Amino acid sequence: MYHASIMKTKQGEEWQVLPQDAEQRLDKWLAAPERLGSRSKALQAIERGKVFVDDQEQGTNDSSRKVAAGERIRVWHDRPGSASKRYFERHDSGLHIIYEDQSLIVINKPAGLLTVPLATQPGEPSLFEQVENHLRSTRKAKLLVVHRIDRDTSGLVVFARTPAAMANLKDQFERRQPERTYLAFVCGVPREDSGTWTDMLVWDQDELRQKPVKPGQTAPSKSATLHWKVVERFERASLLEIRLVTGKRNQIRIQAELHHHPLIGERMYRDGMAVDSMINFTRQALHAWKLALEHPVTRQKLRFEAPLPADLESLQVRLGAPPKPLDNLSRSVPRRPVKVDLLPRGSKRRDRRS
């Protein structure tokens, strides 16, 4: 016997890879007679989230990975939520689906598309309706809103597929547990490499926009906080990585304005700058890049990432830096000779906090 099961229970079975089996494909290794017995069973177990290597869940893209000597490989027989097939990143029904199972679905939303239908914009297409149509084709049309991003912001959006999943996910967002990371191209060059912005905001229902609280103002306000760091400095602009602490409507956009680094392409929160004085771009240059949350059923930590869309890649090139892999963005900020003007030359600054 070449492999000894080191744990076998009603819930699953676990093995340790021996040296003579190293470098085999994961699906082939699992298909051995002393384990799952066939390639189809191995692939099905991987698809349904039942396979873990050293406590890390394996997806369909991992079926061809090579196993290493000493790795612990576990197969769950009755893991909660694993009875139905789960789908990992793919393009389907015109959607870029990052992840889908019976509890939730995560989509990479393109810019220019509403997240949900708005009564003020009847007839405008929305991501919610497109995902509903996708699910209707599978006879599972239940879809519930968990959060949303602005129409002209691209990137990750998660929807729930059951009331229980929605309640759990909404609770996570209310408790500020999900990790939400954005990429933002802003006007100007910060003097510091990183920092934190905290502002008191009030939503103006008449103008449908956030405003800073003014001295003596009695309207109910809410605190908004985010952490930022510089990823790349250009001559008159910067690429920032932004991690939200709170999640207020238009939060990044208004705080970027209040701290004199409005988003490139911004049309509403411009810090007093005329549109023609800003770097030309057709939308606010903001992308919901990463999202990490707890699965509402399995309690497993899920991490998602949406690649930078083509229009923002083109903007990055135009600003003077070649595209780079997103997994390199968190490295130390490159030092290069730059002008440290906070705003493009000729623009006027207006401090909305006064």
Distance CA 180, CA 244 (A): 6
Does residue 189 sit in the same domain as residue 323?
A: yes
For residue 300, the model assigns a pLDDT of 86
Mean residue pLDDT across the chain: 83
Distance CA 229, CA 218 (A): 33
Does residue 148 sit in the same domain as residue 260?
A: no
For residue 306, the model assigns a pLDDT of 93
For residue 330, the model assigns a pLDDT of 46
Residue ending a domain, choose from 43, 76, 109: 76
For residue 76, the model assigns a pLDDT of 84
- Pick the more confident residue, 233 or 77: 233
Does residue 133 sit in the same domain as residue 193?
A: no
What's the pTM?
A: 0.68
Query: By the 8 A CB rule, do 35 and 67 touch?
Result: no
144 Cβ partners below 8 Å, 6+ apart? 159, 160, 161, 162, 163, 165, 166
The model's pLDDT over 87-132, given as tens digits with 9 standing for 90+, comes to 567 787 789 999 988 899 999 999 999 999 987 778 899 999 999 9
Total structural domains in the chain? 3
For β-strands 154-160 and 286-294, DSSP reports them as: parallel
For residue 122, the model assigns a pLDDT of 81
**Three-state SS across the chain?**
CCCCEEEECCCEEEEECCHHHCCCEHHHHHCCCCCCCCHHHHHHHHHCCCEEECCEECCHHHCCCECCCCCEEEEECCCCCCCCCCEEEEEECCEEEEEECCCEEEEEECCCCECCCCCCCCCCCEHHHHHHHHHHCCCCCCCEECCCCCCCCEEEEEEECCHHHHHHHHHHHHCCCCEEEEEEEEECCCCCCEEEEEEEEEEECCCCEEEECCCCCCCCCEEEEEEEEEEEECCCEEEEEEEECCCCCCHHHHHHHHCCCCECCCCCCCCCCCHHHCCCCCCCCEEEEEEEEECCCCCCEEEEECCCCHHHHHHHHHHCCCCCCHHHCCCCCCCCCCCCCCCCCCCCCCCCCC
Does residue 211 sit in the same domain as residue 314?
A: yes
For β-strands 179-187 and 286-294, DSSP reports them as: antiparallel
The model's pLDDT over 134-161, given as tens digits with 9 standing for 90+, comes to 888 666 668 999 999 999 999 999 999 9
The model's pLDDT over 12-54, given as tens digits with 9 standing for 90+, comes to 888 999 999 999 999 999 999 889 888 888 888 887 778 889 8
Structure token pair of residue 220: 């109910």
Q: Per-residue pLDDT averaged across 57-62, rounded?
A: 78
Query: By the 8 A CB rule, do 115 and 128 touch?
Result: yes
For residue 208, the model assigns a pLDDT of 82
Does residue 139 sit in the same domain as residue 24?
A: no
Distance CA 147, CA 327 (A): 25
Q: Assign residue 49 the CATH number of its domain.
A: 3.10.290.10
Does residue 221 sit in the same domain as residue 154?
A: no
Residue ending a domain, choose from 49, 76, 103: 76
The model's pLDDT over 187-221, given as tens digits with 9 standing for 90+, comes to 999 999 999 999 999 888 887 888 888 877 767 88
For residue 348, the model assigns a pLDDT of 39
pLDDT above 70 as % of the chain: 81
Lowest mean pLDDT among 89-103, 154-168, 252-266, 327-341: 327-341
Structure token pair of residue 233: 């400095």
For residue 274, the model assigns a pLDDT of 67
Q: Point out the catalytic residue in the list 150, 152, 199, 311.
A: 150
Q: Per-residue pLDDT averaged across 224-246, rounded?
A: 95
Domain membership of residue 248 (yes or no) is yes
Does residue 218 sit in the same domain as residue 262?
A: yes
Domain membership of residue 352 (yes or no) is no
Residue 345 has pLDDT above 70, yes or no: no
Domain residue limits at 66: 5-76
Residue with tokens 């008159």: 236
150 catalytic per annotation? yes
- Pick the more confident residue, 183 or 207: 183
Q: Per-residue pLDDT averaged across 338-350, rounded?
A: 39
pLDDT above 90 as % of the chain: 53
Distance CA 251, CA 200 (A): 11
Distance CA 67, CA 18 (A): 10
Q: Assign residue 104 the CATH number of its domain.
A: 3.30.2350.10
Does residue 274 sit in the same domain as residue 242?
A: yes
For β-strands 87-92 and 104-109, DSSP reports them as: unpaired
